[in-house]
Structure formats: C-alpha cells, structure tokens
C-alpha cells in the first residue's frame, strides 16, 4: 500500500516499501503556470531531506524542487525532458520527478498528510 505526504514547500512524496516517488503538488503546478523545463537529478545522487534535488522552470519563474526525504536517487522521470507539460497535466501522477531509496522512514512520518496539506494551502 502506498501513502502520500506533503511538504510546506509544495513537494509530495509517495512511499511504497523503501522506495519514494517525488514530485510537486497540484497547488505548486498551478502557481507556476505552464512548465517549460525540468532539470532532474542524476541516478545515484544522494539527497538530504530539505536539500535541493531538481529544478522546474515555467513561463513565470524557476524554482528549486527540494527532497522531502533523504536517500539515493534510483531513477528520474526522463519523459519530463521532452514533455515538461506532464507536470501541469498530472502533477501528482505522470508528472513525478524522481524516485529514491529512502534513507530514514522517520523523515516521511514527519511530513503533512493530505488533510493537513489541504488546510495549509487554504491560507495561501
């Protein structure tokens, strides 16, 4: 069974076993506008929770994507290189950014669940 958690920087992370899939939330994608470029991390890159992991550029701005949890990148969504619009079309599905092998499951449990994230974005 998978579970999804959220950060206050608008990333999501879906945990399946010790594998974590990371992307930006629908809220973040809507704020960015049309995504035109995504820079993904290399396989094998070690990332720390809260550390820069990727870059997303839109017609409005460029933003860092932070790792919600620490671990080692096992794959990146190469489809975003040629179709960055997938981030806008399906930010919490086909528009995922990268997958990593989770280093510390405790980092995942400290993140917001869907209800807490929905409440958090109400005030923004």
pLDDT, one tens digit for every residue, the chain (124 residues): 579 999 999 999 999 988 999 999 999 999 999 999 999 999 999 999 999 999 999 999 999 999 999 999 999 999 999 999 999 999 999 999 999 999 998 999 999 999 999 999 998 8
64 closest CA partner among 77, 52, 72 = 52
Q: What is the pLDDT of residue 45?
A: 97
- The Cα 122–Cα 119 span in angstroms is 5
- The Cα 15–Cα 4 span in angstroms is 6
73 closest CA partner among 55, 52, 105, 46 = 46
Q: What is the pLDDT of residue 1?
A: 57
What fold is seen in the domain 3-119? OB fold (Dihydrolipoamide Acetyltransferase, E2P) (2.40.50)
- The Cα 8–Cα 72 span in angstroms is 22
First-to-last alpha carbon distance for the chain, in angstroms, is: 31
74 closest CA partner among 94, 55, 47 = 47
């Amino acid at each position: 069974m998978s579970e999804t958690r959220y950060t206050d920087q608008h990333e999501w992370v879906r945990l399946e076993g010790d594998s974590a899939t990371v992307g930006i939330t629908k809220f973040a994608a809507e704020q960015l506008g049309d995504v035109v470029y995504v820079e993904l991390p290399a396989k094998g890159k070690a990332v720390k929770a809260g550390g820069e992991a990727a870059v997303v550029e839109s017609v409005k701005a460029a933003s860092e994507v932070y790792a919600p949890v620490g671990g080692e990148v096992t794959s990146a969504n190469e489809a975003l290189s040629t179709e960055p619009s997938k981030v806008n079309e399906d930010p919490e599905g086909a528009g995922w950014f990268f997958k990593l092998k989770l280093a510390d499951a405790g980092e995942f449990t400290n993140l917001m669940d869907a209800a807490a994230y929905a409440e958090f974005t109400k005030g923004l």
